[in-house]
A = this chain, B = another copy of it.
Amino acid sequence: MNRPSSLLDQLALGQSNLKATFGSAPRRTLKAGELLGAAGSNQGLYHVRMGWACQFHDFTDGRRSIREVYLPGDVIGLNAVLGTRPVEKIFTLTAVTMEVIPVEHAVLKLMSDHPTALYIAWLLSKRQQRTAQFLTAISHFDARGRLAAMLLDFYTRLRRRKLISESTYNLPLTQAEIGNYLGLTVVHINRILRSLRAEQIVVLEKHCVTILDLERLTALAQDGEVHTASTDNCAHGLSEAAD
């Protein structure tokens, strides 16, 4: 790339600005199963330090769609900063600790600093990329492929942030919630999990995922590019690492 110093330096600067702002922001802790911003405005920018959360949407027929799953290190509320979202409904999957920047401060101070705004745009861009890849997986893979794509996505995100080093991690989603995320029923999720376990590809029991055969799991989520080589972010010194 041309003149890498300029933009990348700005991005790196923005990243540390945002990190510093979050570092001195008030913390908030929620128990598992709580709604974010139940007391009116959940508008604001949140940095997840510990725990998992998700954004969801309830249909009138009672079904629920889980639109996004947030892991430690993720930033919640990127859209809100630019005033585009009506209201995002967020739900904690585990106990969660997060740093909170109220929306006024986020809009007035953060976005008026150029490097920070650039970095936020970069975060938006990364997230768009992930969503688009997941969309490809959801729309073109069968249930096994979708599940594989999801498990691999969480796996690579956790690994990239150095939150795990083995091929095992804790997945605080019930099978029903996995179904709501992938657009499948609990019953079918259950069957697929059983078959994946029988084939010694991956085991999920008691909210604990163990990848037995990474190669075959990746093959199921074939060509989705679901996890770009974990090097290409770090190559230019940027990452979404939790710390």
Contacts and interface: CB of A to CB of B under 8 A. Distances in A.
Contact of A182 (B67, B83, B114, B139): B139
A107 B68 contact: no
Nearest to A180: B140
Contacts of A24: none
Interface stretch (A121-129, A192-200, A208-216): A121-129
A171 B230 CA distance: 39
A128 B127 CA distance: 8
A95 to B, nearest CB: 26
A83 B8 CA distance: 9
A223 B117 contact: no
B129 A79 contact: yes
B65 A139 contact: yes
Interface in A122-148: 122, 124-129, 131-132, 134-136, 138-140
B82 A2 contact: no
A232 B87 CA distance: 13
A172 interface: no
A205 interface: no
Given A59-B140, A84-B122, A138-B139, 7 more contacts: A3-B107, A6-B112, A61-B222, A65-B140, A68-B132, A78-B125, A79-B128
